[in-house]
Amino acid sequence: MFMSGFTVLNNHLLSHFAFILKNINCCFTYINQQDLIYGKKYSVEMLCCNVGKCNLFHGFYQSEIKFNSEKKKKSHWEEHWSTDLLLETPIFPKIMTRRRFEQIMTFLHFNDNSEIPLPADRISKVKPLLDYFLPKFQLIYIPKQELSLDEAMIRWRGQLRFKTCNPGELTKYGILVRMVSKSETVCICSLEIYMGKGKKLQETILLVLQPYLGSWHHIYQDSYYNSVFTSEIRENHGLLNQLKEKSKNLQRGEMTFLWKGEVILLIWKDKRLVRMVTTIQDTSIASTGKECRRTGHQITKPTCI
């Protein structure tokens, strides 16, 4: 049996936060090196920029500017260094000069173009960051038994070849990410960025779930990812059409199901048809604790729903 939560990685009893901080500093060292390489290609004399300045830039850009912008609306980032009495914000010039900030932002780079293999995928510019952090997250954190397979949208309205549009969501335009997360805290354990082409849906599902296959985990997912293929991890044909025929005449509260091996396909009629594919539940019935107003009978449902 696995124990969920953070795990000690070695016998030196390093705290988890010290471990994370150490890896973040290594990452910033790498980013700083890539910035210098990229700047030299344009014959730009880079200002003295060490790892500490790189850390300041990212913290400055992600938190301070955003926080300040919510209180003092500025039309352009350069106004954070303005000497105008109506726009002046003294803290920014004290942290970093405008020229240094502009230079780091202009030449911010995460991968050496000369080392990117061809043909390059669409996230090759940031792939080193993903390849660096994802294994670290999976190493220091072990999720509980229940995991959720779902997708999320990273808001983005700029130019991007694999930008997606989903009119039914709150965030309509952005980068689609398929991910495995802890069902209780929504802590992301594994993810895959959708690039508009390449892998089939089943291949993406298995790739995201790869670190947790064959373990004791229970994966919960919606109908978009559910199929007999993903339940059995192999080809299977014919079951779905048979189940559709059986479900046509179902009355409310009734169910029908088919099974093969450990895979159960179940359809239950409530106000509408509810479809389930499961390998961890059975076809037993449980009470919901509610009564039907018309008949006074207990309302029941399958335990897997």
pTM assigned to the model:
0.64
65 in the same domain as 156: no
Give the pLDDT confidence of 77-94 residue by residue, as tens digits: 788 888 888 778 787 788
Picking from 197, 225, 253, the residue at the C-terminal end of a domain is 225
**DSSP string of the chain, one letter each residue:** ----EE---STT---HHHHHHHHHHHHHHHHHHHHHHHHHHTT-------HHHHHHHHHIIIIIHHHHHHHS--SSGGGGG---TTT--THHHHH--HHHHHHHHHT--SS-GGG--SS--TTTTTHHHHHHHHHHHHHHEE--SEEEEEEEEEE--S--TT-EE-TTSSS-EEEEEEEEEETTT--EEEEEE--SSSS-HHHHHHHHHGGGTTSS-EEEE-TTT--HHHHHTS---SHHHHHHHHHTTPPTT-EEEEEETTEEEEEEESSSEEEEEESS--S-EEEEEEE-TTT-PEEEEETT-
Domain limits for position 26: 16-115
177 in the same domain as 201: yes
Q: Each residue's pLDDT tens digit in the chain (305 positions)?
A: 334 444 444 444 345 545 555 666 677 777 777 777 777 777 666 555 555 656 566 555 555 555 555 556 677 778 888 888 877 878 778 877 888 888 878 888 888 888 888 888 888 888 888 888 888 878 777 788 788 888 888 888 888 888 888 888 888 899 988 888 876 776 788 888 888 776 777 788 888 888 887 777 777 777 666 655 555 443 444 446 666 777 778 888 888 887 777 777 788 888 888 877 777 777 788 888 888 777 778 888 887 77
Looking at the domain assignment, is residue 183 inside a domain?
A: yes
Looking at the domain assignment, is residue 294 inside a domain?
A: yes
Give the pLDDT confidence of 207-225 residue by residue, as tens digits: 888 888 777 777 777 766 6
